[in-house]
Structure 1
Amino acid sequence: MLNQMKEALKGIDIRIDEPLKKYTYTKVGGAADFLTFPRNRYELSRIVKFANEFQIPWMVLGNASNLIVRDGGIRGFVIMFDRLNSVTVDGYIIEAEAGANLIETTKVAQYHSLTGFEFACGIPGSVGGAVFMNAGAYGSEIAHVLTSALVLTRDGEIRTIEANEMRFGYRHSILQDTKEVVISAKFSLNPGDYDVIRQEMKRLNHLRELKQPLEYPSCGSVFKRPHGYFAGQLIMEADLMGYRIGGVEVSRKHAGFMVNIAEGTAKNYEDLIAEVIHKVKIHSGVTLEPEVRIIGDKEI
Structure 2
Amino acid sequence: MADSFHDEMVDDTPATVGGGSAADVEMAEGGAAAASGGRGGSGGGDDEHAAAAGSAELPFAEGGPDDPAARPRVTFAQYLSTPVVTLLIGSGEKETILTAHQGLLVQSPYFAEACAEFADDGSPRQIELPGEDLDAMGCFLEFLYTGDYFPKKVPGQRALEKDPSIPEVDMTGDQLLKHARVYTLAEKFGLTHLKNLASSKIHCVNSTAKGEIAYARYVYQFTSKDDTAIRVPVANFWATRSHTLRAEAEDEFRDLCLEFPQFGYDVLTRVLDEKLKRERNEKMHPGAPGSARKRPRHSSTAAP
TM over 0.5: no
> Of the two structures, which has the highest relative contact order with CA contacts closer than 8 Å and spacing of 6 or more?
2
TM-score between both structures, scaled by the size of structure 1:
0.28
TM-score between both structures, scaled by the size of structure 2:
0.28
Rg comparison, structure with higher value: 2
The structure whose residues are more often strand, as a share, is 1
